[in-house]
Amino acid sequence: MDKARIRVTIYAGLVLVALLLNAAGVSAQGGRVLVLEIEGPVTPVMLSYISRGVEQAETIGAEAVVIVLDTPGGSVTLMEKVVKTIRSAKVPLVVYVAPPGAMAASAGTVITLAAHVAAMAPETSIGAASPVGGQGEDLGETIEKKEKEILKAQARGLARRRGEEAVAWAEQAIDEAKAASADEALALGVIDFVADNLEDLLGQIDGFAVSVMGEEVTLHTAEAAREKLPMNPLERLMHTIADPTIAVILMTIGINALIYELSAPGGYVGGIIGAICLGLGLYALGVLSVDYTGLIFIALAFVLFVLDIKAPTHGVLTAGGIASFVFGAVLLFQASTFDVPWGAIIGMAALTGGFFAFIVTQAIRAQSWRVTTGGEALIGAAAVARTDIDPEGTVFLKGEYWTALADEGNAIKAGSRVKVMGREGFRLRVRGEREE
């Protein structure tokens, strides 16, 4: 009987192991797909995020990494680093330009070409990859030619596996800033698939063969489990502030707060907030293509605001500062694919102008206020004569006895109310109120 029980136990254990192995086999067959979502310009945060995603995908043995991309472009240097990260990955990378209305413009075009699989959602676009300067300006003829030739060589190398039409279009995207819709890009062979959504994409690329580090890999994604890898809080913060509108807002708040701290030192709160906002704003401008002419106008605006506090023509310089701020914000990103909405520009200009108008108003009021401290505060004050003042005597003023002097020939009797006309050391020069 005991032997029978032992055999039953062994058989049950073997069946359980077989079931577990079978479940593991099904899971392995389905695999996992890591999904990264990127919206915004090409920044150092994008590079670190993709690098982290590739590293994690390699660690867990993911079937593929899907980068859902929507970018207006950015730094060529950062783009090249992203391309290197993609091409050196040991796991297939899929760039999917989505959702509808998204784009892979400028540097995003080359990043999409670098992917092992390139796909787009309907109503998306790709292209316009002509290089511009670090501040968004047009390059000189010689430098522009060099930059374009380097980019074209890189684009040809990435697009060659997609056919001659794709290579020709990639060169036109750089030479002529040509762009294409999803269907046009698919017809030219620039991308491999047009997919309505992520599920549709994973179904279409199932069984698709790609070359990863020189080895052919067949994708098995139809049954793969999708696992989103979100940006961590720091990445999300730094990527969010790399937005033209937020950059201008941070710069404006930072400068206003620092000026407030300098005008009323001692609290430190304004200085701390200003330094943090200004630092974040400068970081954002550092990763975006900006026109320094716009920065000059914005700096001029704050100079005019500060000068108006001391100028006799109160309000004129503030009005000029508001106009300069608007011009600067408009020009800041004029030569790039980024822009700042008019609503944000007018709003920040109005708030800044209002802030300095308030300061100017307070400064005007302060000039008309009567002195309330020190010896000057006694002039004009009313006192009571405690003795006869002819020409010297004693008065009682604000809880204190003072030696007082009256003008010769204008004696003041004890008990009379007097007015302080001046001060000479520890003696007050007074005049009887009836003499006014």
pLDDT tens track, the chain, 436 positions: 455 555 545 555 554 554 444 444 434 445 899 999 999 888 888 999 999 999 999 999 999 999 999 998 888 888 999 999 999 999 999 999 999 999 999 889 999 999 999 999 999 999 887 665 444 444 445 666 777 888 888 888 899 988 899 999 999 988 888 999 999 999 999 999 999 999 999 999 999 999 999 899 999 999 899 999 999 888 888 888 877 788 888 888 888 888 777 766 666 777 888 888 888 887 777 767 667 788 888 888 888 877 776 666 666 777 888 888 888 887 776 655 566 777 777 887 888 777 777 766 665 565 555 555 555 667 778 899 999 888 889 999 887 888 898 887 788 888 889 988 888 878 888 888 765 4
Residues 412 and 308 both lie in one domain: no
All residues at 6 or more sequence positions from 143 whose CB lies less than 8 Å from its CB, including other chains: none
Residues 310 and 406 both lie in one domain: no
Residues 205 and 256 both lie in one domain: no
Report residue 221 as tokens: 């994604």
Q: Is residue 49 part of a domain?
A: yes
Report residue 225 as tokens: 């489990």
Report residue 285 as tokens: 């401008």
Q: Is residue 76 part of a domain?
A: yes
Residues 219 and 337 both lie in one domain: no
Q: Is residue 11 part of a domain?
A: no
Q: Which domain holds residue 121?
A: 28-234
Residues 121 and 230 both lie in one domain: yes
Residues 325 and 424 both lie in one domain: no
Overall number of domains in the chain: 3
Q: CATH no. for residue 219?
A: 3.90.226.10
Residues 318 and 203 both lie in one domain: no
What is the per-residue DSSP string for 348-399? HHHHHHHHHHHHHHHHHHHHHSPP-SSGGGGTT-EEEESS-BSSEEEEEETT
Q: Among 176, 202, 234, give the residue marking a domain's end.
A: 234
Residues 201 and 71 both lie in one domain: yes
pTM of the model: 0.65
